[in-house]
């Protein structure tokens, strides 16, 4: 299958590079002294793009530079950097790496919630600074007698719900449609969900419809005892509105693993004592990243060998008439 050529716009894990190069011909755009010249040279031969969040926007203009492009295999469950609708309309398959990271992200989400509610990083800093000698760490909030609303009940959302139920949290959710198999209260929009809860767990996909879905109104509805946790994408939360809500104590606290302009985090959030901030590490264990790498390779190689993609996204079903 060396005649099936794949372009890697940005560096991918070694497991991906090794797995693809064993079977296919790969071109490493990030190593090119002149990336534009490399695309001009190999663009007509490229049939696959292997992307990650670091690849930047993969829109129609980018994909159009490869007239024989057949597949974009993405590393990650979120694929908002890719214009999948455009790809589908032009006969290009898009794949992602779902399921293999659901448990890892769900674990992290619950850990971030606990860290935020019980101020675990702050307590660690308190001890390390020697303050325990002057008195005990202040009392914190609790998970007791709380209701958590899950904004987005996909694979990861359901994994979070399973874990949250073990903590005896009352659960509700907001999603594109009601899930008949979900034994939780359903709300048609995130504002209604926030009004009914005091923990808002954000795990919806990043789309035009969800951009800044968590805004001033939603934060006000969450209330002064409210806690926001975002393990989805930074774009779902209006950062300025969140900073204002934290400073005005409109909500109690926030735990964030994602930001609007990564890796740039507003100083106001860094300085905020009610925040727990993580550098987008939801799926960042070696075990899970290796599983993601293998699935990305499997998608590309399976397609190149004529067996079809393993995990095509909803916008580009396989076979193409399966929508």
Catalytic positions: 233, 262, 280
In order, the DSSP letters of 244-281 are HHHHTTSSSEEEES--TBTTB--HHHHT-TTEEE--S-
Tokens of 111: 């850990």
With contact defined as beta carbons under 8 Å apart, do 294 and 14 qualify?
no
Q: Where are the alpha helices (DSSP H) in the chain?
A: 14-21, 35-42, 60-63, 84-89, 102-117, 120-128, 155-166, 190-196, 216-222, 239-247, 267-270, 286-304
Angle at 152 between CA 147 and CA 158, to 5 degrees: 75
- In the chain, DSSP finds a helix count (H) and a strand count (E) of 12, 12
3-state secondary structure of 95: strand
């Amino acid at each position: 299958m060396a005649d099936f050529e794949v372009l890697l716009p940005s560096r991918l894990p070694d497991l991906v590079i090794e797995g693809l190069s064993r079977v296919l011909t790969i071109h490493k755009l990030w190593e090119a002294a002149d990336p534009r010249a490399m695309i001009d040279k190999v663009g007509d031969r490229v049939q696959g793009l292997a992307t990650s969040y670091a690849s930047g926007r993969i829109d129609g203009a980018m994909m159009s530079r490869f007239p024989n492009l057949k597949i974009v295999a993405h590393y990650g469950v979120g694929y908002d950097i890719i214009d999948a609708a455009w790809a589908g309309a032009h006969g290009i398959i898009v794949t992602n790496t779902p399921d293999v990271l659901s448990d890892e992200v769900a674990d992290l989400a619950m850990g971030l919630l606990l860290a935020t509610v019980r101020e675990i990083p702050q307590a660690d800093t308190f001890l390390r600074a020697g303050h325990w000698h002057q008195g005990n760490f202040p009392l914190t909030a609790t998970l007791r007698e709380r209701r958590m609303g899950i904004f987005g009940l996909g694979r990861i959302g359901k994994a979070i719900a399973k874990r949250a139920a073990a903590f005896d949290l009352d659960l509700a959710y907001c999603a594109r449609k009601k899930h008949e198999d979900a034994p939780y209260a359903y709300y048609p929009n995130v504002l209604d969900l926030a009004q009914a809860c005091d923990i808002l767990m954000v795990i919806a996909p990043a789309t035009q419809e969800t951009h800044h879905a968590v805004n001033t109104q939603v934060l006000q509805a969450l209330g002064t005892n409210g806690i926001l946790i975002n393990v989805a994408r930074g774009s779902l939360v209006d950062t300025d509105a969140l900073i204002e809500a934290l400073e005005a104590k409109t909500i109690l606290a926030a735990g964030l693993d994602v930001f609007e302009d990564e890796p740039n985090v507003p100083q106001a959030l860094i300085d905020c004592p009610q925040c727990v901030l993580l550098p987008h590490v939801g799926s960042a264990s070696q075990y899970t990243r290796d599983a993601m790498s293998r699935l990305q390779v499997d998608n590309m190689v399976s397609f190149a060998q004529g067996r079809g993609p393993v995990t095509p996204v909803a916008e580009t079903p396989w076979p193409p008439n399966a929508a």
